[in-house]
């Protein structure tokens, strides 16, 4: 009988100047997080770069755009997955408020740098117990 063991929520705080994708992956690895869902992000960015599809082809052609801040993080979610080499260890999507209040968003790309700090809450994937009961 398989049973799902409860997961845990871990908050990773990225400091001023951190590169979001790279440094979140590095900190998750240090904490032993192999797989998890980024369920929320709270903070601000100095610069944000996002990717969005611009064609309906599969795979779509992607366009990158960048904005300088400071920008408020309106939403941030995604995954940490060191088992999926094709996507990379961190895959995030978010919405960000510009200085004038306009909101932009997409798949977070590099460079995206932290302004003051960025707190990422990760629901660490629970482990399966495969033992027979």
Q: What's this model's pTM, rounded to 2 decimal places? A: 0.87
**Per-residue model confidence (pLDDT) at position 18:** 98
Confidence of residue 5 (pLDDT cuts 50, 70, 90): low
Which tens digit of pLDDT belongs to each residue from 42-99? 999 999 999 999 999 999 999 999 999 999 999 999 999 988 766 679 999 999 999 9
Mean pLDDT taken over the chain? 90
Residues 6+ apart with CB under 8 A from 76: 38, 40, 41, 42, 92, 93, 94, 95, 108, 120
Residues 6+ apart with CB under 8 A from 85: none
Q: Using the predicted structure, report yes or no on whether residue 127 has a pLDDT greater than 90.
A: no
Cis peptide before 59 (omega within 30 of 0): yes
Query: Which domains can be identified in the chain, with CATH numbers?
Result: 16-126 (3.30.1330.80)
CB neighbourhood size of 111 (10 A): 13
């Amino acid at each position: 009988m398989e049973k799902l063991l409860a997961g845990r929520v871990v908050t990773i705080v990225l400091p001023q100047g951190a590169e979001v994708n790279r440094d979140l992956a590095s900190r998750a690895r240090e904490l032993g997080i192999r797989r998890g869902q980024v369920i929320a992000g709270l903070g601000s960015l100095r610069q944000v770069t996002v990717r969005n599809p611009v064609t309906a082809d599969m795979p779509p052609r992607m366009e990158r755009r960048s904005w300088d801040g400071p920008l408020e993080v309106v939403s941030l979610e995604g995954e940490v997955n060191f088992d999926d080499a094709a996507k990379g260890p961190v895959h995030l999507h978010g919405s960000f408020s510009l200085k004038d209040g306009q909101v932009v968003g997409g798949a977070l790309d590099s460079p995206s740098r932290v302004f003051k700090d960025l707190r990422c809450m990760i629901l660490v994937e629970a482990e399966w117990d495969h033992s027979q009961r």
